[in-house]
Structure 1
């Protein structure tokens, strides 16, 4: 109750989480928000959710129904990494893939809606062949390997300043190398 008189949301680390949330017996309930608010994480969704969570916690704190049976807390990924490991979350969420998929589905859905009276383009063999060739060229050039491994674009030798666009090993490649192979495949 002393903490709730000062703040509407308690910030927790691993020790506080085990003491106030995991350890029985408790005669109160705790709503916990797991987040990644540190600036280096660049989680815009986390910042927006935090603003709404603050509003909710403040509304509860200043409402007439406020009592000592419900509290709000927060665990930041960088302050309580061990808590995230306890609940089997090993990295902060990244919604860029979900957003890209939603955008793609929206674009395809919009195109089909706009062309609903004339869907002959779906049966166009030349169009499907072009799409297939683009995918094949991108994959054979090593673009998927780049996506998985995240190599640098090129390498600059610190001793002589020379830039290498092709990796010296057969076990690795630079992004520039895959672009070169992609262009050569198309030509």
Structure 2
């Protein structure tokens, strides 16, 4: 039996109330279902984005590993990596990159007649070799060269109209003004380049000056020794101050090494805190090395520079 409740409007029955409740419940369920669908869709979208980001990051890591591996392989063959336009754009300009690149832009072909380029290249080679064969060598810095005849498009891209030019390309960001070496003001000595690199990269390249004359041998190509055709006597020391043999460089190198070892032993004997008797022996050995081998070195100098008045022990 239906009951009517009058409230000044259309009478509402219990069936109407129940129907309205059922409709409200259905609407709530639909809303809940819709929210669940939206939430599930958002989660799926976030998951897809994460997977895509992870895949992109993995791809970058693989690409970077390939680039570093290739650069290390080239560095194992020669200290300075030669680059054309394509290699420059891929390994120097294009990301990803977690290493610094030092690039010498030059023109070494004979038809270019750039004597300064050849001189700068020799200093650059000394510096690159010092870095390549040092204990601090790593995959964070590479030495490269772009010759105009092999990468003219690179010169045009950088609006470069002079050579030689040294530029540093940092691992992150673009090169700044200080990343271009001031060749006109500082010069291109290997020591000056090393200081500039240390300032830009915090990588220290220690350059040892060649006191044995090996660079002269590299440029002039002298014989290893000379054999007298008349008596068969072999000379390892050239008699003139204007020339030398390759063996002479090796002899001077060994003499310098022996003198250096003597100085190290003298310093060790003076600064160590070990047994007094042991320190005395080390001091005598060091002193003997310095005195004997320096006398030998001075006698060689006298034999080449005739008229030199000074000698010590060995004449």
TM-score by length of 1: 0.48
Q: Which has the larger radius of gyration?
A: 2
